[in-house]
Structure 1
Amino acid sequence: MSEWSVAEPQRLSFDAPVTALQVRIVNGTVNVVGTEESSARLEVSRIEGPPLRVTEQDGTLTVAYEDLPWKGFLKWLDPRGWRRHAVVSLAVPADTGVEVGVVGATAVISGIRGETAVRGVSGETTLVGLGAAVCAETVSGDVEAQGVTGELTFHSVSGDLTLLEGAGAVQAVSVSGSLTVDHERADPPARMELSTVSGRIAVRLPHQADAEVEAGTTSGAVSNAFEDLRVSPAWGPRGISGRLGRGRGRLRATSVSGPIALLRRAPEDEPEAPAATSGKKVL
């Protein structure tokens, strides 16, 4: 095993093949980008507090504080340990499996084709162009994702999920956070399970969607952009149900008091609507 202690800004290169990456930091920023190179690179551009321990063993590269384990990560709330800060950037082979844990830090992960897991107590997480299964767990941190083609699993207490141009299955649960999902492709059909207690749920499906739909809220409002779906009466629990296309996909959305909106993408060949004008001549 190779090991380094990083107590000041530093750059490291790793010639041995890297197949797994583990990062755990408190405050600051983690940037992970997938490349077509076989080697990995690390840059720590800022660090305050205790040093980061960097290890490389059997294809696993770890960058973490020694007192911050992955197991039980979301319960790590010792305020004395928060007095630290690190800005970490990593370039790894795109097929690397990635695990990132952040406490009060921002995480950005892009271009990874291996499985990705993110755990955050607080702080925003951005996921771009990930090609395999993604699991994100937060206490209060928000997750923004774009172009995720693998299955996305999200669990949070009060964090929001925003997924743009999604193509894989989605399973998302939040107590009070909102869930916003934009499914880009009609094929493969959407498979989504979304649930909140009080958070808002908004789903946008392709114009020619292909799914069985069942959405309901006990006391929240509902809105629906698909004429082929049924909306339950205005009194009592509200719901949207029915089949779109051949019904090969599945959408299940439930909330206790949060509103649910089912939106429809415009046809791909439909021109953009012209901007509204006031009728006044502009010189």
Structure 2
Amino acid sequence: MSEWSVAEPQKLTFDAPVGTVQVRIAGGTVNVVGVEEGPARLEVSDIEGPPLTVTQEGEVLTVGYEDLTWQGFTKLLDRSSWRRSAVVSLTVPADARVEVGAVGAGAVVSGIRGTTVVRGVTGDTALVGLSGPVQANTVSGNLEAQAVTGELRFASVSGDLTVIEGSGPSVRADSVSGSMIVDLDPDGPTDVHLTSVSGEIAIRLPHPADAEVEANTASGRISNAFEGLRVHGQWGAHKITGRLGAGTGRLRATTVSGAIALLRRPSAEDWQDTRPTDGPTDGPTDKKVL
């Protein structure tokens, strides 16, 4: 096993193969980028408080604090007198497994094909271009997932979920009060299951869509942009049910007091209709008159 102590800004290159990356920080930012070639690299551009411990044992690369374990990383919330922060950037093989634990820190993970696991407390997380399975758990931190093509699992107490151009085979999310905005652009059947107590849920489906739909709210408002779906209930509980297309995908959304909205993603023809045309217009031009 190799070990380093990082107490000031520093860069490290790891010549040995890296198959799993574990990062545990409190305060600051962690950025993990998957690349196709080259060794794994670490850059700590800013650090305050105790030093970071970096270890490589076999193919497992770990960056974190000695007193911050995977099982108890939230204990820092009970020690308000502790002050620590680090800005950590990692370049790792795209096929690596990535595990990030962040307390009061932001996290960005991009370009990873392996499994990604994120555990956050108050910091926000951004996932970009991930093709492997994703599991994200937060207390109050928000999650934004853009162009994620793998399975996505999200659980939070009050954190919000935003999915942009989601094309993975499944999205499952549970929250108590966090809102969920899910924009789907799947390549095939997608299984979507969203559950919240008081958070609002908005789902944008492609047109034409292909899914069996069931959306329920006990007391929230409901809106539906698809003529093929039925809206049940005038007062109190509302439900949207029906089949879009062949119904090969599944969409389930449930909230107690939050609103539910099913929105339609513009089709290719819709985009074509909105493109500007060549030729003169009635508006101002760039031509300058002297």
* TM-score (norm: length of structure 2): 0.92
Contact 2:76/2:82 (CA < 8 Å) preserved in 1? no
Moved over 3 A (4+): 72-76, 272-275, 280-283
Residue of structure 1 equivalent to 2:56: 56
Q: Percent identity?
A: 65
- Deviation (angstroms), 1:76: 4.4
3-state DSSP of counterpart to 1:44: strand
Contact 1:160/1:177 (CA < 8 Å) preserved in 2? yes
3-state DSSP of counterpart to 1:77: helix
**Relative to 1, partners in 2 of residues 1:122 and 1:274: Cα closer, same or farther, differing over 3 Å?**
same
3-state DSSP of counterpart to 2:215: strand
Alignment of 1:1-283 (within 5 A): 1-74=1-74, 76-80=76-80, 82-168=82-168, 169-185=170-186, 187-270=187-270, 271=272, 273=274
Mapped partners of 2:6, 2:273: distance in 1? 52
Mapped partners of 1:49, 1:29: distance in 2? 14
**Relative to 1, partners in 2 of residues 1:164 and 1:272: Cα closer, same or farther, differing over 3 Å?**
farther
Mapped partners of 1:237, 1:44: distance in 2? 52
What is the Cα-based RMSD across aligned positions, in Å? 1.7
**Relative to 1, partners in 2 of residues 1:76 and 1:248: Cα closer, same or farther, differing over 3 Å?**
farther
Count of equivalent residues: 279
Contact 1:73/1:119 (CA < 8 Å) preserved in 2? no
Contact 2:228/2:242 (CA < 8 Å) preserved in 1? yes
Mapped partners of 1:119, 1:106: distance in 2? 11
* TM-score (norm: length of structure 1): 0.95
Contact 1:74/1:138 (CA < 8 Å) preserved in 2? no
- Deviation (angstroms), 1:81: 6.4
- Deviation (angstroms), 1:233: 2.6
- Deviation (angstroms), 1:137: 0.4
- Deviation (angstroms), 1:124: 0.8
- Deviation (angstroms), 1:273: 3.4
3-state DSSP of counterpart to 2:269: coil
Mapped partners of 1:228, 1:74: distance in 2? 46
3-state DSSP of counterpart to 1:27: strand
Contact 1:108/1:127 (CA < 8 Å) preserved in 2? yes
Deviations 1:86-138 (A, max 9, x none): 00000000000000011111101000000000000111100000011000000
Contact 1:216/1:238 (CA < 8 Å) preserved in 2? yes
- Deviation (angstroms), 1:71: 1.5
- Deviation (angstroms), 1:266: 1.1
Mapped partners of 1:64, 1:272: distance in 2? 52
Mapped partners of 1:274, 1:114: distance in 2? 38
- 5+ long unaligned stretches in structure 1: none
- Deviation (angstroms), 1:221: 0.4
- Deviation (angstroms), 1:256: 0.3
Mapped partners of 1:110, 1:94: distance in 2? 9
